[in-house]
Amino acid sequence: MKAFDDLLEESVRRHGHLCPGQVIGVRMAMLGCRLLGIDDPHASHQRKKLLVFVEIDRCATDAIESVTGCRMGKRTLKFRDYGIMAATFLHLERGTAYRIVSREDSRERAAHYAPHVREKHSQQLEAYQRMTDEELFTIHRVAVDLRPWEMPGPPQRKVLCDRCGEVVRDGREIRRGRVTLCRPCAGEAYFRPLSGHHAQEFDAGEALS
């Protein structure tokens, strides 16, 4: 695996700015790969062995994506919206997995590692690069049960929503008795239709005019 400084530089270039979350994410990804025995997750012989679950939509997630090469579009990066600065690294061939959680008390330790820096953001940025893995993270050996349609590759399952007729892929449908529903029709939509029961459809030219 590349050196930390090189990986951080690559991550910052992709993310757009340097911050403590970038340092945490790069180090978390490096540790996860190391625990699984993956020394170059971008190499062709190793990139299909790794799957990562991230639990927060923050800067660290961009860093983990940069270091591991895992992508949501490749189905090797999974997002679980838990609001926890944590990620689980799974070796697909062995089934071995480690969940790594950023320790909240590392913020308090930052002053010890960078006492000459007064501003908290800069202090954490410097300290997180010096701390040991044990001071930065809590590591758990875990089991991850993946359903066949959660694996990378083409969709293995497609069903039609009985209410709106839209195609639902990869086991994301909701069953209500004998009825199959997409999540919006089951009441789990992140959006609110502005007209009637279903979203109003627009001609592309009309919508842009």
**pLDDT value at residue 205:** 56
Confirm if 58 and 84 have CB atoms less than 8 A apart: no
Grade residue 201 by pLDDT with cuts at 50, 70 and 90: low
Location of structure tokens 């061939």:
93
**Domains recognised in the chain with CATH numbers:** 4-148 (3.30.1330.130), 154-200 (no CATH)
Among the listed residues 58, 125, 108, the one whose alpha carbon sits nearest the alpha carbon of residue 87: 58
Torsion, Cα 191 192 193 199, to 10 degrees, reads 20
Which residues have C-beta within 8 Å of that of residue 37, sequence separation ≥ 6?
A: 91
- The rounded distance, in Å, linking the Cα atoms of 94 and 14 is 31
In the numeric block, which tokens belong to residue 23? 């340092």
Among the listed residues 70, 62, 76, 12, the one whose alpha carbon sits nearest the alpha carbon of residue 42: 70
**pLDDT value at residue 200:** 54
- Looking at every residue in the chain, the average pLDDT score rounds to 91
pLDDT, one tens digit per residue, over 115-124 is: 888 888 899 9
- The rounded distance, in Å, linking the Cα atoms of 141 and 70 is 20
The secondary structure of the chain in percent helix, strand, coil, rounded to multiples of 5, reads 30, 20, 50
pLDDT, one tens digit per residue, over 95-146 is: 999 999 999 999 888 888 888 888 888 999 999 999 999 999 999 999 999 8
For 169, left (φ over 0), alpha (ψ -120 to 50), or beta? beta
**pLDDT value at residue 203:** 59
Per DSSP, the chain holds a count of helices (H) and strands (E) of 7, 9
What predicted TM-score, i.e. pTM, was given to this entire model?
0.87
- The rounded distance, in Å, linking the Cα atoms of 94 and 36 is 9
